Amino acid sequence: MSDNATAARRSAIYLLDQILGEGRLLSECLAAGALDRLAPEDRARAQRLTLETLRGLERADRLLENHLNRTPALTVHNALRLGAVELCHGEAAHGVVNSMVDIVGRSRKHGRLKGLVNAVLRKVAAEGPEAWPKMRVPRLPEWLRDPLVMAWGEDAIAGMEKAQFAGAPLDLTVKPGASGPGEVLPTGSTRLHDAGQVTALPGYGKGDWWVQDAAAAIPVRILAPKPGEKILDLCAAPGGKTLQLAAAGADVTALDVSETRLARVHENLKRTGLKTTVVAGDALEHQGQYDAILLDAPCSATGTIRRHPDLPFGKDGSEFGELIELQARMLAHAWSLLKPGGRLVYCTCSLLPDEGEVQVEEALDQHPDMSVDRAALNIAGIESEWITEEGGLRLRPDYWADLGGMDGFYIARLNKSA
């Protein structure tokens, strides 16, 4: 049994405790230093184990419930869940079982249950690998699944759940004139299915590319920035779209309310050698006049679950109403910052129409000088059935199923009359 493997598993169980017990998001845990003591490879393994367990949680619980008279304490339950997922993914039973027994056995609170862990996981090792692929694809929680089924239908949601269960490959946006590893996607991003450590990939140190889901790279392509244009990137962190705008030669102001999140923007700008003006501030208070604006508004992030399977467990939908109101206010304020004849791209990484299609429909009613630019969607890789009735673009995780899917996004380009 490897001490490093046990350390990664122990950290993964801690993360699962925080996500499933405290309702925290994985990003919050990582920002708080949950894995800082681990070596880079063990840190990556702990994150991978956490994500795999969250994706397979429904299947793991169904396997475990056959061997548990009652649900154990959360930490022990999460050790069993993690062990079950590893066993069903083909990890050697000896190493997984011994590691989980060791982790639980060293706990002052739960050490007496190490025998239970040993017995249950040995049973899972015997039957789980055969049963696992026959079980249904794990479903989204009802609070999220119900409104999505209402919006897109049962078949579409089943396709999205399949994409989310499969996880996400690594997508890159490559600087103009540079090259990056991976296959080129229809929209121009590149994709790697087994990327390994990102910092070890060719071109990382030279700043030739940055990590950005293919769907997230489309809003800037629709905005079509031109050299020298004065462009505002509202809610800019973590900065992928900022880098795209800067690489196009625009005069970019990247604004975000979080100085902590802006640190990532500064890091990527330094690595890629790109220049922008970075401002920490409230989007609703910012002033100025711009040729073009990109508003990637705060949202439910329901379109990113294939990459962030912790989201359904860290949220419960109670914030939807507040977010929808904030998006409307941000869009109205951003419109006031746009010069006559200018253009604005509104986007959210959400699957909920209230955060996308409905926002644009209501904005069009409120602003007589606003029109939707359907022609702007005529870019490489965009399929006609993705274009919505009001003239926006609806992207979903079940699209590109044969290529590995994409994040869910809504995007619309809005032109201001001269």
Q: Which residues are catalytic?
A: 349
DSSP label of 141: P
Rounded to the nearest angstrom, the gap between the alpha carbon of residue 188 and the centroid of all alpha carbons in its chain is 20
Report yes or no: 413 and 360 within 8 Å, Cβ to Cβ.
no
- Strand positions, DSSP E, 93-216: 170-174, 183-184, 190-192, 209-211
Backbone φ, ψ for residue 31 (5° rounding): -65, -30
In angstroms, how far is the first alpha carbon of the chain from the final one?
69
**Among candidate residues 273, 318, 347, 371, the one with its CA nearest the CA of residue 144:** 318
**Among candidate residues 186, 155, 136, 157, the one with its CA nearest the CA of residue 400:** 186
HSE, CB side, 13 Å, CA atoms: give it for residue 229. 23
For residue 379, give the amino acid letter: I
Two structure tokens written together for 303: 């379109």
Per DSSP, what are the bridge partners of residue 280?
256
